[in-house]
């Protein structure tokens, strides 16, 4: 093989390797789903949470619910978000807001996370990504984006929060839920 043909052969192999690497990484990032829009009906999902409670979104009519997606139990941002909700839990209860956390961690991981931080709300183990797909939440390497959905009393999406800031999210939700309650 001459110099030019050898270089072309190596260049072809490099191009193929880069193409395959790009395809694999794109596949790991998951597809970009279409996020549920304000006004869309909440998905008819039902699942037993880490604490044994059954969450049935289709049976929440008349109630406000926050379904929040987070990447992983025990990580700094996820802990901040969960504890911020916990710290104002009495205000969530007064507003009648059901809170459901969702990640791809196992029920056992959720039990440990909830016990360690004394979380008063259920966590869903979405290991098959049914919840993330139904809500249109992006995933990267199997981990959900930090997105949340406020479901209004009519059973439709009232507010979509993309790329949530864990430190202020609880207060945002409480303000938006108060506006929903005032509009009843």
Positions marked catalytic: 78
Residue 77 has, within 13 A of its CA and on its CB side, a CA count of: 14
Please answer whether residues 3 and 94 qualify as being in contact, where contact means their C-beta atoms are separated by less than 8 angstroms. Answer: no
Rounded to 5, what percent of the chain is helix, strand, coil? Answer: 45, 20, 35
- Within 95-154, where are the H helices? 107-117, 130-135
Q: How far is CA 66 from the centre of its chain?
A: 11
3-state secondary structure of 151: strand
Q: What count of other Cβ atoms lies within 10 Å of the Cβ of residue 179? A: 11
Distance CA 51, CA 57 (A): 17
Interior angle at CA 33, CA 28 and CA 35, nearest 5: 135
Q: What count of other Cβ atoms lies within 10 Å of the Cβ of residue 123? A: 26
């Amino acid at each position: 093989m001459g110099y030019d043909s050898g270089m072309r052969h190596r260049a072809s192999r490099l191009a193929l390797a880069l193409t395959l690497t790009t395809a694999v990484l794109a596949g790991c990032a998951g597809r970009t789903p279409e996020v549920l829009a304000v006004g869309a009906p909440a998905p008819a999902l039902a699942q037993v949470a880490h604490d044994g409670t059954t969450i049935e979104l289709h049976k929440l009519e008349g109630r406000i619910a926050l379904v929040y997606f987070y990447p992983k139990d025990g990580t700094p941002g996820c802990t901040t978000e969960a504890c911020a909700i916990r710290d104002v839990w009495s205000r969530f209860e007064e507003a009648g807001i059901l809170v459901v956390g969702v990640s791809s961690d196992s029920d056992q991981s959720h039990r440990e996370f909830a016990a360690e931080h004394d979380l008063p709300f259920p966590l869903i183990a979405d290991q098959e990504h049914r919840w993330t797909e139904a809500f249109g939440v992006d995933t990267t390497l199997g981990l959900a984006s930090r997105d949340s959905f406020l479901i209004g009393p009519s059973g439709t999406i009232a507010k979509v929060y993309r790329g949530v800031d864990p430190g202020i999210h609880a207060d945002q939700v409480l303000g938006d839920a108060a506006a929903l309650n005032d509009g009843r």
